[in-house]
Amino acid sequence: MRLPLAFALCLVAVGVAAEAQSLHGLQQETQVAAILQVLQAEAPKDFIVLRNVQVVDPAAASVAAGQSVVVRNGRIVWVGPVADEPRTESAVVVDGGGRYLSPGLVDMHIHSGRTDGRLLALANGVTSVRDMDGFPWMLRLREEIARGRALGPTYYVAGTIINAAPMDGYAVVPHSLSEGRRIVRDQAACGYDFIKIHNVVPKGLFDAVADEARRAGLDLVGHVPHDVPVRYAVSGGMRTMEHVKGFLDDGTLTPGDTDYSSVDGAAVWNTPTLAVTRSNLRGAEARAVLASPEAAYVPASVRAWWAALAEEPLTDLVQTRQNAGPIMADITRKLAGRHARFLAGTDTGGYPFMIMGFTLVEEVQRLQDAGLTPAEALAAATVEPAAAMRREREFGRIARGMRADVVLLDANPLKGAAALKANRGVMVRGLWLSRESLDRALGRLAALYAVSDDSVPFSAAAVSATIDDLESQARAGAVFDADRLTDAAARLRQSGAEAAAARLEALAALPTSGPCAAERPR
């Protein structure tokens, strides 16, 4: 997502030139991509045995001790007692030391932006993500990751948000029911995995979009719109409902629809995103985030923005948003009492005080604090996402035929979410990322982000060299945020650097024809 206007104003206030900030951001993107390339190149793959582990099954809330897990070409091919392990002389062996092997985690609500999000997700055991406002560049990223040319969690991408009111570049706006249907058809043809709606979708438009999504074979996800009761949304085919909207009145951020029975027995999942309340931290709590170890993995310029926010006075609006946190937790508790189904998601990506991966681990803890059992909270980040996305046979459990996405833990995550706060290694699609290699990558990231924007010289030569690096990384499989590239191109064009701007726009690769170009956000 684009960085908020408040961030840009903060940069001006602290005297950092926009051109230098933009150039440095692009330079950092190439360097983070290089960190991921090294991490991927170092990772054992193809034939790996995870030996002497306790296999965690979130679906059954059980643990099987003394197990081996055999992985070939990204898939789990055998699970069973160590004594029965098949011949694996040529395999790379990872000795689990009796630790717990859990399925990889899933963040079911992110917004992609900086490349570092992929590293931070993996370092925290997040092996799959669902982006909830898709753009064509994310589809290219999804494919490059799937092909093994880029390293990151497995991507699932919702179409660009459909909303009947503009959202400053984040939504497409249908002006009729037929146009709403056309947008759905275009998004399906473009290759998105879901159709997402937002707050301002009148009932008639909701019906048209939901019906067209069914015809296209795509699930409807997103916010329960203001004018649509939750029960109506559920009966209309919503597959996942975000931020407990509907049950939470979006206009007042107070309790809304209390028809909690509307989810009883329905094939619908709630993604509460309880941790999103972090974005409204101020004062001591905000300063504590800035002082945390993980803040080192945030660019210095972003930390400066956060630091400015931390010292802002508590406005009525921010107070209202802070007050919504306990209300969302109470709604989650009431839904849990009705045995509703939940997904762990964070809304990370562009909001302050939220760091990819780390926030997902916190979300699992918050779900547990809001009334889910530890096993249910873990399921919300593993097996339930697979079920909600109709991919139960692909991931979410450690079983033969599943994608090899796992995380090695010292403690049993079925006993509490605290077990997820540290891991001994992560496997994503059969690549084993040891804790040592992950920590080396994180150390390089922290060193990179310690450098301030104003220390970067801005010159034609620096711009040209940066674009050379971007192009080289793109040839190797890297995909960068098209918004960032086109924004930088616009700045260059304003200064008369037409050739450099054109090169950045070519890297952004915005489609100019076909279904992916049929509708522009506004």
Per-residue pLDDT tens for 383-439? 999 999 999 999 999 999 999 999 999 999 999 999 999 999 999 999 999 999 999
Question: Residue 344, Cβ neighbours under 10 Å: how many?
Answer: 33
pLDDT at 185 (0 to 100): 97
* CA 137/CA 197 separation, integer angstroms: 20
| Residue 475 pLDDT > 70 | yes
pLDDT at 9 (0 to 100): 37
pLDDT at 522 (0 to 100): 64
Instruction: Using pLDDT thresholds of 50, 70 and 90, give the confidence band for residue 463.
Output: very high
Extract the tokens encoding 451.
């450098």
Q: 360 with 343: CB under 8 angstroms?
A: no
Instruction: Using pLDDT thresholds of 50, 70 and 90, give the confidence band for residue 454.
Output: confident
| Residue 23 pLDDT > 60 | yes
Mean pLDDT for 26-45 is: 96
Higher pLDDT, 459 or 131: 131
| Residue 10 pLDDT > 80 | no
| Residue 6 pLDDT > 50 | no
pLDDT at 387 (0 to 100): 98
Mind listing the pLDDT tens digit for each residue in 284-332?
999 999 999 999 999 999 999 999 999 999 999 999 999 999 999 999 9
Mean pLDDT for 187-195 is: 98
DSSP annotation of 86 reads P
pLDDT at 26 (0 to 100): 95
Mind listing the pLDDT tens digit for each residue in 269-288?
999 999 999 999 999 999 99
pLDDT at 4 (0 to 100): 44
Residue written as tokens 């509703």? 340
Burial of 473 (0-12, 13-18, 19+ CB in 10 A): buried
pLDDT at 8 (0 to 100): 39
Mean pLDDT for 334-359 is: 96
* CA 84/CA 70 separation, integer angstroms: 12
Instruction: Using pLDDT thresholds of 50, 70 and 90, give the confidence band for residue 7.
Output: very low
Burial of 284 (0-12, 13-18, 19+ CB in 10 A): exposed
Residue 168's region, left for phi above 0, alpha for psi from -120 to 50, else beta, is left
Identity of the residue numbered 61: A
Extract the tokens encoding 469.
């690096």
| Residue 14 pLDDT > 80 | no
| Residue 157 pLDDT > 50 | yes
Question: What are the structural domains of the chain?
Answer: 47-101 (2.30.40.10), 103-277+324-397 (3.20.20.140)
pLDDT at 457 (0 to 100): 80
| Residue 146 pLDDT > 90 | yes
| Residue 340 pLDDT > 80 | yes
| Residue 13 pLDDT > 90 | no
| Residue 455 pLDDT > 90 | no
